[in-house]
Amino acid sequence: MWRMRIMVAFGLITILAAAEASGAGLRAGVAKVDITPPAGQSMWGYFDRKTPAQSTLDPLYARVLVLEAGDVRIALVALDLGRTFGPSEIAMLRERATSSNNISYVLVAASHTHAGPVIVDEYAPGQTPPWETADLDKISIAIQEAASRLVPVRVGTGYGDTTIGYNRRRVNPDGTVTMFWRNPTKVPTAPVDPIVSVLRVDREEGTPLAILVNYACHPVIFGADNLRYSADFPGVMTQIVEKEFDGKPLSIFLQGAPGDINPYDATTPLEQDPVRFRDWTGERLGREAARVAKAIHTADSPDASLQFAEDTMTFHLRWNPDRLHDALLAAYGPDILKSFAPSIRPEYPLLVATLLINKHIAVMTMPGEPFVEFQMTWRDRCPASDAFFLGYANGYYGYFPTIQAATEGGYGAASATTWMEAGAGEQMVNHALVKLYEMLGRLTDLPEDLKKK
């Protein structure tokens, strides 16, 4: 089943930023820049990996798509990184993009590769790593390049189906949870979302400019013994798609909601040749994405529109702060507070974005690791004909389990890496749905019978 429904509780405080433009054709531009750090940086994703990166297996990139309709420009920045940059760095990217390129909104999303460098929310004054400063400069230039290359475009969407991973939480008959870290024999599990969502952007004459692929699976083919930078299977996927189109479009991977989804051959030891499994996984996803993309018929958008809303939703820390601090230290050692966990405080402001392209392509984001059911629920409940879901976007605040998973436990559901209050994910989905209905004009005015009273 593609779709499923869940009951949610909803309560929030938001700060609204929204914009809309319509009445003109859609234009787009793309750019790509290598953001691979030098060797010697601490690596993201595994608490037991103490040795810094020694070399590069394959480059890490930032891929940029700028869309324009009327006087609204939106920049999508997709990173081959474990997480996005911190709040101040994202704010700086946005300020630069606005001042130099009239960008209305910048959405930053990460693939969540576990073979990238460590990034944290805050650095002490003067302690921002030089590679990060250099990469932010490169990305700013890439946004400028994409904005300078805008051409009239046509867009279309399509959907495929492939399974490259499994749900790593096994709920036992007695209600306990066993973590299922590898599944090389491909034992069926649930829930898993096999849907490959594709957005194709063509130039006016029909040649592809960009192909965006949205899918949910952790990029963790490489384990803690890997000391080489790699985009993991998403990097292979982008290469496959581009080769299928003779290198004409820029292929962009958009991570979905894989908080509980691993690839079958997760954390393959180096002696078992993880590159082979990385390639199999990326090729399987890439071939299906390319098949779907080739079947998409793009259409002109004479009345193109771009709408967006980014809201700050405040959530409380799920755990007692002192107990969480002690649990993190006991489980992962003192380095965890430097390289993974945010500063521990009672509540956190999280950015949740909702985008609507041409009134029918809807996108919502979460700033962390959502469980897969949120992606399936968003698609099921979305009033637009096309629904894309992006995790690891505009910040990083750990795992977002469903309420049911939070009661069951297991890694990511009730662990020291799950910081936000239970129900945060459900509230974000509900909030994005409300914003989308507002954009569609279905929650904006009093009913006619009440206006007459």
pLDDT tens for each residue of the chain, 453 residues long: 333 322 233 333 333 344 455 446 999 999 999 999 999 999 998 988 889 999 999 999 999 999 999 999 999 999 999 999 999 999 999 999 999 999 999 999 999 999 999 999 988 888 899 999 999 999 999 999 999 999 999 999 999 999 999 999 999 999 999 999 999 999 999 999 999 999 999 999 999 999 999 999 999 999 999 999 999 999 999 999 999 999 999 999 999 999 999 999 999 999 999 999 999 999 999 999 999 999 999 999 889 999 999 999 999 999 998 888 888 787 777 777 666 666 888 999 999 999 999 999 999 999 999 999 999 999 999 999 999 999 999 999 999 999 999 999 999 999 888 999 999 999 999 999 999 999 999 997 777 776 666
Domain-wise residue ranges, the chain: 25-295, 306-369+379-439
- 232 phi, psi to nearest 5 deg: 60, -155
CB of 365 within 8 A of CB of 390?
Answer: yes
CA–CA gap between residue 274 and residue 286 (Å, rounded): 18
pTM of the prediction?
A: 0.93
- The radius of gyration computed from the CA coordinates of the chain, to the nearest angstrom, equals 21
The two tokens of residue 77 are 């920045």
CB of 258 within 8 A of CB of 112?
Answer: yes
- 284 phi, psi to nearest 5 deg: -65, -45
Does residue 281 sit in helix, strand or coil? helix
The two tokens of residue 90 are 């994202």
Number of H helices, E strands in the chain: 10, 21
Residue type, 217: C
